[in-house]
């Protein structure tokens, strides 16, 4: 049975979106977020109270796009079990499963037969963004582009591939990571294709759009443009980025139609219990059925469903998996606690520690840091 949840519908029709297909690539295994992704694909991890992917679907709907094709692979059934055919979201969702890993380009080519429109907007399913999707489509059509890339300006582009453009916004080249980048514009993981270009991507084998597809388009003289802005952007692939992204959604720094009007220092599910004296700060999220003991302090922390946190616990910048129990006066900082783990009273965990699902750490457990 589907666990679909309704969220707000757009207030204004977007004619460009009505003639656009959305493709979301969600096939990755999310290895950097283990152990959370051992049971749940990364785009389905709870983020500001709902699966991460739901925030992107809400933005797609707000842009007037209603036909969505998901390219899935790892635990593909989880997506369809939750979202179904998309009707409850005002969308029509189809699913295409990759039998073997195909890379970004191969994943885009793999959904070609499900596309209906001449304009196709492609999303990496692990990026939290705030750009106006309607404006990206406007740039694509106003430039009569064959391909339009969303580029975001960042303070330090050295860790990313850079994409310089000319005065008219036309892409000049694609550059690998460099210590001396010529531009602060980086690839933000949203692409708008003319559908006919997708058919030219080789089928049935791994293809990198950055190393193979995009350079070929430039060599062939096609019209490749960038839509450049400074909108919110975060790759949610690491625990620290996951916590920061969820916190930014809760505090209203990262926009999402899903939680519009409910932003603040914390977001607590109505079925959760928070006892007197507990402090929830920094965009902390408390999941369904969880219980937070008196005097506990949680700062910039994501608590999944069914968690029990006893009195006096202090947790900072961490992710607490479903069904975890944390004993009184424990201290946890910069950690990931897997589903069903039991952390004893007065334990101290810090420095990037990851506790695997079901592991039990006794009371007064050894203070631990991977760097110690």
Q: What is the domain partition of the chain in residue ranges? A: 15-245, 265-361
Residue pair 186/160 in contact (Cβ under 8 Å)? The answer is yes
Alpha helices in the chain (DSSP H): 15-18, 52-62, 76-83, 103-110, 133-142, 195-199, 214-219, 239-250
Tokens of 172: 């000049």
Residue 112's region, left for phi above 0, alpha for psi from -120 to 50, else beta, is alpha
Rg (CA), the chain: 21
User: What pLDDT, in 10s, does the model give residues 64-81?
Assistant: 999 999 998 778 888 889
User: What pLDDT, in 10s, does the model give residues 210-237?
Assistant: 888 988 999 999 999 999 998 999 888 8
Please tell me the distance from the alpha carbon of residue 197 to that of residue 215, in angstroms, as a whole number. Answer: 13
User: What pLDDT, in 10s, does the model give residues 19-68?
Assistant: 899 999 987 777 888 888 888 888 889 999 899 999 999 999 999 999 99
Please tell me the distance from the alpha carbon of residue 282 to that of residue 300, in angstroms, as a whole number. Answer: 4
Q: Per CATH, the architecture of 265-361 is what?
A: 3 Solenoid (2.160)
Tokens of 179: 């210590």
Residue 288 CB neighbour total at 10 angstroms: 15
Domains 15-245 and 265-361 share a fold: no
Residue pair 355/337 in contact (Cβ under 8 Å)? The answer is yes
CATH number of 15-245: 3.40.220.10, 1.10.10.60, 3.40.50.150, 3.90.550.10?
A: 3.90.550.10
What average pLDDT score do residues 127-140 get? 93
Helix or strand (DSSP H, E) at 150: strand 147-153
Please tell me the distance from the alpha carbon of residue 335 to that of residue 353, in angstroms, as a whole number. Answer: 5
- Determine the pLDDT at residue 14: 62
């Amino acid at each position: 049975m589907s666990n679909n949840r309704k969220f707000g519908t757009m207030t204004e029709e977007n004619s460009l979106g009505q003639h656009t297909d959305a493709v979301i690539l969600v096939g990755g295994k999310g290895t950097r977020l283990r152990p959370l992704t051992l049971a749940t694909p990364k785009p389905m991890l709870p983020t500001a109270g709902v699966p991460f992917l739901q925030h992107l679907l809400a933005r797609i709907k707000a842009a007037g796009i209603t036909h969505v094709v998901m390219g899935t692979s790892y635990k593909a059934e989880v997506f369809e079990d939750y979202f179904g055919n998309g009707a409850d979201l005002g969308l029509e969702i189809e699913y295409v499963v990759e039998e073997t890993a195909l890379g970004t380009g191969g994943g885009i080519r793999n959904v070609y037969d499900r596309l209906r429109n001449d304009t196709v907007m492609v999303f990496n399913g692990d990026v939290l963004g705030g750009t106006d999707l309607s404006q990206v489509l406007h740039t694509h059509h106003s430039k009569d582009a064959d391909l339009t890339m969303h580029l975001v300006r960042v303070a330090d582009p050295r860790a990313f591939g850079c994409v310089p453009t000319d005065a008219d916004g036309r892409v000049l080249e694609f550059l690998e990571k460099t210590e001396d980048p010529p531009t602060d514009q980086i690839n933000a993981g949203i692409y708008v294709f003319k559908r006919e270009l997708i058919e030219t991507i080789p089928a049935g084998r791994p293809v990198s759009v950055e190393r193979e597809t995009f350079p070929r388009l430039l060599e062939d003289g096609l019209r490749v443009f960038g839509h450049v802005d400074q909108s919110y952007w975060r790759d949610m692939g690491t625990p620290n980025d996951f916590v920061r992204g969820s916190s930014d959604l809760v505090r209203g720094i990262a926009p999402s139609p899903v939680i519009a009007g409910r932003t603040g220092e914390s977001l607590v599910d109505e079925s959760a219990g928070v006892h007197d004296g507990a402090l929830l700060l920094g965009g902390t999220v408390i999941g369904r059925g969880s219980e937070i003991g008196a005097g506990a302090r949680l700062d910039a922390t994501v608590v999944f469903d069914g968690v029990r946190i006893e009195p006096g616990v202090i947790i900072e910048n961490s992710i607490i998996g479903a069904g975890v129990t944390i004993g009184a006066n424990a201290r946890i900082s910069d950690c990931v606690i897997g589903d069903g783990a039991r952390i004893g009273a007065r334990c101290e965990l810090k420095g990037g520690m990851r506790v695997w699902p079901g592991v039990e750490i006794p009371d007064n457990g050894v203070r631990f840091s991977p760097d110690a």
